[in-house]
Structure 1
Amino acid sequence: MDHDIYEDAFLRDVLTTVKTIAVVGASANRDRPSNRVIGYLVDKGYTVFAVNPGYSGRIINKAMTYASLADIPEPIDMVDVFRAPEHLFGVIEEALDLTPQPKYIWSQLGVRDDKAALFAEEQGLVVVQDRCPAIEMPRLGL
C-alpha cells in the first residue's frame, strides 16, 4: 500500500468499521496528544483501552489503562500507536501475538516506519501511518 496518500473512502471505511481501539503510548498528562485523542475517541462512542505499563489499572481520560496489548480483556479492532517510529515494529509484533489479531494498525502523526508497515501488511494487517483519527474524523464528516 502507498502510505503517502490514503483515499477518503478507505479512511472512512477503517474509522466506521472499528469499534474497539487500543492506544499504545497513552499519557495521563492532559496536555499530551494521546490523552486528548483517547477522550475524543471515547466521546465518539469507541471502546478505548489505554496502554501504558506505568499507569496500568488506572483511568486515562475515560479509558482503563493496561500494561500491554496482551493484558486487554477483549478483542481489539485497531491499535493506535503514539510511540516513536523505532517502536512501531515491536508494537506490530505484540499485536500479531493477540488472538484474535486486530485488523488495523494506525500510527499517529510523525510515526512512520515503512518496513514495519510492510511486515504488518504481509501478516494480513491493514496499516495507516502518520495520521490522526481525531483529525481525519471531522475532516471526513464522521
Structure 2
Amino acid sequence: MKSTFNSWYDKKMRATEALEAETNRAEKTLNTISTIAIVGLSRSFHKDSQFVARYLQNAGYNIVPVNPNADKILGKKAYPDLKSIPHPIDIVDVFLPPAHIHKAVDQALVIDPKPRAIWLQLGTGEQTDEIKKVQGTGIEIYENRCIKVDHQFLIRPKKESTNNN
C-alpha cells in the first residue's frame, strides 16, 4: 500500500517541471528547518490543523501555535499573531479561510527575522495576490499544499531508512 501512495504522490507532485521544482524546494525546506508557526491552529483535537500540528510535533519540529483565542495548544504557549512571537520561526503554516490569508501573509512579511517559507495549506485555494506579494522577498511560498503530506512522502521515508541501518 505504501508504494502505491508514494507512486501516486510522485506522479502528482512531479507531473510538470514547475511542480517538480516546487516539490524539490519543499523537500529542501523541510530538511533544513526546525520551527513552524501554525496560524489558525485550532484548540479542537479533531480539526485538521491539530492533526497536522501533532504530526509535525512528533516528527521533531518545534510548533508555535498562533490563535488569538487560546493561551496554550498542544502544551505550547499560543500567540495572538505572528508579530507577538518573541523568537525566530522558519515556516509560517497557514490554516485560515481563504478570505483571511492575506492577514497572515502580511504579518509574515514584516516580522524580523523573516521566515524561510510561507505554507498555504490545502483548501486555501489559489492566492495569486499573496504569491505576488511574497515574490522577490527571499521567502519561499507554497500554495494549496499540505505540509504534513509533503513531510510524509519527502522526509519521513529517508529518516526511517537511516534509523533502520
TM (norm. structure 1) is 0.89
Alignment CA distance shift 1:122-1:89 (3 Å): farther
CA distance in 2, matches of 1:106, 1:92: 10
The aligned counterpart of 2:118 is: 105
The aligned counterpart of 1:125 is: 139
Q: Select between 15-24 and 81-90 the one with higher mean Cα deviation.
A: 81-90
The aligned counterpart of 2:5 is: none
2:35 matches 1:24: no
CA distance in 1, matches of 2:32, 2:134: 19
DSSP-derived class of the 1:12 partner: helix
TM superposition shift of 1:124? 2.5
CA distance in 2, matches of 1:88, 1:117: 11
TM superposition shift of 1:122? 3.0
Aligned 8 A contact 2:36 2:62 in 1:
yes
2:71 matches 1:71: no
Aligned with 1:140 (options 137, 141, 154): 154
Q: Select between 4-13 and 31-40 the one with higher mean Cα deviation.
A: 4-13
Report the AA paired with residue 99 of structure 1: D
DSSP-derived class of the 1:53 partner: coil
Give me the CA root mean square deviation: 1.7
Matched residue count? 138
The aligned counterpart of 2:66 is: 51
Aligned 8 A contact 1:25 1:82 in 2:
yes
Q: Deviations along 1:94-138, whole A, 9 cap, x unmatched?
A: 111211111100010011301111211233321001111111111
The aligned counterpart of 2:129 is: 115
CA distance in 2, matches of 1:53, 1:39: 19
CA distance in 1, matches of 2:20, 2:123: 16
Relative contact order (C-alpha < 8 Å, sep 6+): which is higher? 1
Report the AA paired with residue 141 of structure 2: V
Q: Highest CA radius of gyration, 1 or 2?
A: 2
The aligned counterpart of 1:89 is: 102
Report the AA paired with residue 60 of structure 2: G
Aligned 8 A contact 2:31 2:155 in 1:
no
Gaps of 5+ in 2: 1-15, 157-165
The aligned counterpart of 2:162 is: none
Q: Identity over the aligned pairs, expressed in percent?
A: 32
